[in-house]
Amino acid sequence: MGEKQMRRVTLLIVGFAMLLTMAACSGSGSNGSVGRNDIAIPDGGTGTESVRNEDKQPDRSAGVSPGETEKNKGGKKTIVLATGGSSDYFKEAKKKYEDRHPDITIQLKDYRGEGKLDESEYDKIVTKMNTELLSGKGAADLIVLDFLPVGKYVNKKMLVDLSEMMEQDSSFQKEQYYSNIWDNSKLNGGLYSMPLHFYMDFFWVDEEAVSKTGVNIDDKTWTFDQFIDTTKELIKKGSYPHGLLGISKTGALELLFQDNYAAFVDEAGRKANFDSDLFVRLLEQVNTLFDEQVMTENYEGLQGYFDFRASIRSIEDYFTYPVMFHGTGKLYQKPIAEGQQTGTYFTTGYNVGIYSNSAVKKEAWDFIKFLLSDEMQGSKNRQDQNRSYLMFPMNKATLEGQLKELLKEGTVKFEDMDGKVKTVNITEAGLSIFKQRIAAANKPLHQTPSQISEILFEEAKAFFNKQKSAEDAAKLIQSRVGIYLNE
């Protein structure tokens, strides 16, 4: 493996490690991420599928609200926050909130088992949380819902609609937050998980190579089909023989599947639609994309117009990532599915919901508001005081403060893929475009439940390896996902 490839892989590993660390504390923001098979893993609860409300609630006889049973003498109340792993961010929030509210105790319920279960076994953590929460034995007042099946919880009326709590709370000023993020993270018109941060997703493009071909690209409106046609035209007219580098066939399938998730999976209705002509064509399209060099799994020594998806997790990343791999690199808006409204793709993290059976809903909501405060949104990471715990904060004032500080500094230093230290200038014009992209964030990347991903990749590989036909693979995926949805 060459030095550039090693550095590239190292960057991916660092990004994924960050995702797992944040996911174990409840999620990323995204995202996050670079996720399984080169694709960002979106957060749970940002999908827009409809939900049913007629399902029975789980049996909570063995798990009544901790706030109802764990009161100290003198009326002190306890708010239990269930997470997929310990988190310095929530530990800091607990300490600060308890200092100001001596009548409240914040209990962090760590499903990782206080370090007994490694982040590499995160699927086991998710399974354990999901099983206990659905059964009612894992009752909590607040739940960090990243990577959990929020649709199922809403069906069973396990979560409070936070939109209603916002409307009923005159002290909560929605205009102080990036409400476009939570407006596009709703289920059936209700917000059942409050994201504390988010990140954005783009395509990286070799702008210089594209401009030499004379091909015009309007990334604000292009669809995925147009991206494919454009890439073929670039290959024909330019000097590069490839389009998108460094993505596997399963990664490409995930990329297409995420954009069309609702067409294949109805979590609320517990139905799958993989045995359709649409999905069969999707499988066949992936093979065609690789046959025609629109995409290739290789990277070392190859030249291509586009690189793997860029998951931008900080302001610094936004300005340094484009030129990290090539001096004339640029971030393009990710292609949209046919019929979709144009906009920026995003992934949320630290998605906190209130358990509907909680006896301390009012207090739990007040704690969520504290988590959204400028103080907590801008808190610095104990391990690296130059970075905050969160990616892009939901609090506008927090992010605006970070932008002003960066503009004051004027530059950002970084190390490129060759190990050379470079500098990027920060300008008001650049920050203005950055703000526009956040304002245009309206496309939540749906987090595919790990079980569905495993089924999808396992059966799709059999097709890609020519062991099964597309139709046979689709039928097996349909059967297995259908069983999972109805468990």
Distance CA 342, CA 406 (A): 29
What is 77-199+347-394's CATH superfamily? Periplasmic binding protein-like II (3.40.190.10)
161 Cβ contact partners less than 8 Å away, ≥ 6 residues apart: 190, 191, 192
- Residue 21 has what pLDDT? 38
Closest CA to 391 of 40, 107, 115: 40
Q: What is the pLDDT along the chain (487 residues), one digit of tens a residue?
A: 444 443 443 333 333 333 333 433 333 333 333 332 222 223 333 333 334 333 444 444 444 455 554 444 457 899 999 988 768 899 999 999 999 999 999 999 988 765 555 656 767 777 888 888 888 776 799 999 988 888 878 888 999 999 999 999 999 999 999 999 999 999 888 999 999 999 999 988 999 999 999 999 999 888 888 999 999 999 999 999 989 888 899 888 987 887 678 789 887 678 899 999 989 999 998 999 999 889 988 776 678 898 766 889 999 999 999 888 777 889 999 888 777 788 999 999 999 999 999 999 999 999 999 999 999 999 987 766 667 789 999 999 999 999 999 999 999 999 887 888 999 999 999 999 999 999 999 988 866 666 788 899 899 999 999 999 999 999 999 999 999 888 7
Q: How deeply is 138 buried, as exposed, middle or buried, from its count of CB atoms within 10 A (0-12, 13-18, 19+)?
A: buried
- Residue 29 has what pLDDT? 32
Q: Which residues pair with 349 in a beta bridge?
A: 197
Dump strand ranges (E) for 5-123: 77-83, 104-110
Dump strand ranges (E) for 368-483: 392-393, 411-415, 421-425, 441-444
Q: Which residues pair with 331 in a beta bridge?
A: 204
The total of other beta-carbon atoms located within 10 Å of residue 205's CB is: 23
Distance CA 15, CA 24 (A): 14
Which strand (E) or helix (H) includes residue 189?
Answer: none
Match 């015009």 to its residue by tokens.
Answer: 216
Dump strand ranges (E) for 188-281: 197-206, 242-244, 265-266, 271-272
Tokens matching residue 400: 């605006």
What is 200-344+445-486's CATH superfamily? Periplasmic binding protein-like II (3.40.190.10)
Distance CA 354, CA 151 (A): 14
Give the β-pairing of 142-144 and 77-83: parallel
Distance CA 350, CA 441 (A): 18
Cβ atoms of 180 and 46 closer than 8 Å = no
Distance CA 342, CA 336 (A): 7
- Residue 38 has what pLDDT? 29
- Residue 433 has what pLDDT? 95
Cβ atoms of 149 and 368 closer than 8 Å = no
Cβ atoms of 409 and 437 closer than 8 Å = no
Distance CA 409, CA 426 (A): 8
Give the β-pairing of 304-312 and 242-244: parallel
- Residue 130 has what pLDDT? 83
- Residue 19 has what pLDDT? 37
Closest CA to 296 of 225, 226, 243: 243
- Residue 62 has what pLDDT? 44
- Residue 115 has what pLDDT? 55
Helix, strand, coil percentages, rounded to 5, for the chain: 45, 20, 40
Shared fold status for 77-199+347-394 and 200-344+445-486: yes
- Residue 384 has what pLDDT? 67
- Residue 114 has what pLDDT? 56
All structural domains of the chain with their residue ranges? 77-199+347-394, 200-344+445-486
Q: Which residues pair with 244 in a beta bridge?
A: 295, 306
Distance CA 201, CA 347 (A): 8
